[in-house]
Every structure is written in C-alpha cells, then in structure tokens.
Amino acid sequence: MKEDLKYWVGLSGFKGLGYKRLRLMLEYFKGVKEIWEADESLWEKLGISSNMAADWDKWRKNRDLTHELTRLSQKEVRLVTIEDNNYPKMLKEIDSPPFLLFIKGQLECLNLPSLTVVGSRRMTGYGQKATINLVGVLSQKLVIISGLARGIDGWAHRVCLQSKGKTVAVLGHGLDRIYPIEHQGLADEIVNRGGCLISEFPFDYPLEKINFPMRDRILAGLSLGTLVIEGSQRSGTKITAGFAADYGREVFCVPGPIDSESSIGPAELIQQGAKLVTNPEDIFCELKLPES
C-alpha cells in the first residue's frame, strides 16, 4: 500500500534487518507500519538480541520519515518494495534480495535481459579496448549493468551509452550522492538516456567498505550473467563473480596478457569454470540470444 512506503523507507538501511528476518517479523506483526512502531521490548519478544533491539529504538527515534519522503520526491527517486509487481524478477530469485529499492530513472529496464560488466579500477589500455569491442556490441541486445566505479565499470557505462544502449548503475550508497564524485555527469547521462541508478541504501547512509560487497550481490542478481574484464588476484570483481555463480548465473571472463597483474583474477575464475570469451558471440550463444 502506498501509505506504507514511508515505513519501508524507515526499515531500510537498519543493519541486521534483511529480507529473511523481515519476512519472519511480518508473520508476527500485521505489516511494516507495525514493525516500525514496535519498541525494543517487542523486538526482544521475537528473539532479537537486546543490543540490536536497543539500536533499533535509537534508529527509529532519529528518523523523520515524512521529511525523507519529501527529499526522495524532490530528487525524483522512486521506491519499489519486494511486494511490488515492478520489482526486478531476476533479483527476487536470489537468497537475500533487498526488500526496498531506491531507483532514479526508468525502472522498466530492470526487467529487460541484462548483463553485468565489472572489472579493475586500474583499467589498462588492453581492458579499455576489450570493453569497447565487447560492450559496444552486447549493449545492442542487453542492458549493461555495472557499479559506476572508476576503471572498467565507468568505462562500460560510457561505451554502452556511446553505442546508444541502456545501462544501469548499482550504487553502494544512497542516491543523495554520487561516488566517485567525478562520475556525477556520467550518472546524469545514464538517467537521461533511459537507464537508471539503483540502491538499497536510504539517503545519508554512511559510505562504508561493507556497502560494496552488499552492492555486488545486487550487481550479480539483476542479470543473466556477469562479465569480468580485468582484475587482480584480490579484486572485488571476484566477489561479484562469486555471487553470480552462487545464483546459478553465467560467469564470463576475458583472458589477458600473462604478464599483467590485471589478468590474474579472470585467469583464476576461468580455471574455476568461468567461460572464456573473446567476442560478443560467445556470450550471445551461451545466453541463447540471437547474434543478429
């Protein structure tokens, strides 16, 4: 119900409250409004620790939901709950889907066939060229999803836009800001060209390292598969690829020069069973999409 949206917003971002726990709470309470209005003693009755229940009480008392809804409206951010028919179907299939999505732009593209593209923040000339050759063609049939980060992510968005495709940026923070700040123009172009920005975090949510592995599960969950273009041995791209494999989605990797540190991540993923790709047709074929 529309009047419940502000309570969904109130619950969003509270650490420890994921979809699985929320489902259990909804079985006890009548709805999200009742969860929001419940004090810490009611939370403890459900077996939630006293520390978490106390943190909840502080969280609840420090939120002005009417003001937050006004800010969201002013920024033209739409809200989609997991109970909404517009909620992305692919994302709903994962183990721990976000129960609320904040979306700026065209949410319809979240239910179109898509491919996640991730890679090193330290993009090389080789990675730049590989992205042009692959994403330029792939974006003609697939929405390109990435994380708006420096390097391959941002470049994948740009190549998609240059090819007149639609692209989605999944952010590890609220939509009240853009990080990195130099990608503000890119973010605006993504929205203006028929794509969207998406996050599970409310406005003013702290920018912390833990946000990005959480973001990575959404990157992997939204699409038919994940394409890795460059990444070191400890690259965060391997986290996204790991989520994709866990969800039963395809993992594709571009092989690189054997003397490049940026080739180590994709090489290890290929050894573990990811599909080696050298051209767009490899991906179209695996996803059973027509090549032309």
Considering the domain boundaries, does residue 91 fall inside one?
no
Q: What is the CATH number of the domain that holds 265?
A: 3.40.50.450
Average of per-residue pLDDT across 187-202: 97
Q: What are phi and psi of 143, to 5 degrees?
A: -70, 135
Query: Is residue 218, in this structure, part of any structural domain at all?
Result: yes
Q: Which residue has the tokens 């290890």?
A: 268
Question: Do 51 and 128 share a structural domain?
Answer: no
Query: What mean pLDDT do residues 138-153 have?
Result: 97
Length of the chain: 292
In this structure, the answer to whether residues 51 and 188 fall within a common structural domain is no
User: pLDDT tier at 245 (50, 70, 90 boundaries)?
Assistant: very high
212 pLDDT more than 60 = yes
pLDDT for 170 beyond 70: yes
Residues 125 and 169 in one domain: yes
Q: Six-digit token pair at 221?
A: 């969950």
109 vs 21, 146, 168, 209, 218, CA distance in Å?
29, 14, 8, 28, 15
Q: Of the candidates 164, 157, 229, which has an alpha carbon nearest to the alpha carbon of residue 197?
A: 157
Q: Is pLDDT above 60 for 168? A: yes
- Note whether 279 and 220 are same-domain residues: yes
- The range of the structural domain enclosing residue 261 comes to 105-286
User: Does some domain include residue 90?
Assistant: no
- Residue spans of beta strands (DSSP E) within the chain: 78-81, 100-105, 114-119, 143-146, 167-170, 196-199, 225-229, 250-253, 275-276
State residue 62's pLDDT score.
85
In this prediction the pTM is 0.94
pLDDT of residue 210 exceeding 70: yes
From CA 121, how far away is CA 235, in angstroms rounded?
Answer: 9
Let me know if residue 58 belongs to a domain: yes
* pLDDT tens digits for range 47-84: 889 999 899 888 988 889 999 999 999 999 999 999 99
The residue-averaged pLDDT of 267-280 equals: 95
Q: Are residues 39 and 128 in the same domain?
A: no
Closest CA to 134 of 218, 223, 230, 221: 230
pLDDT at 1 over 80: no
Residue finishing a domain among 74, 96, 120: 74
180 cis-preceded (ω within 30 degrees of 0) = yes
Task: Note whether 116 and 37 are same-domain residues.
Answer: no
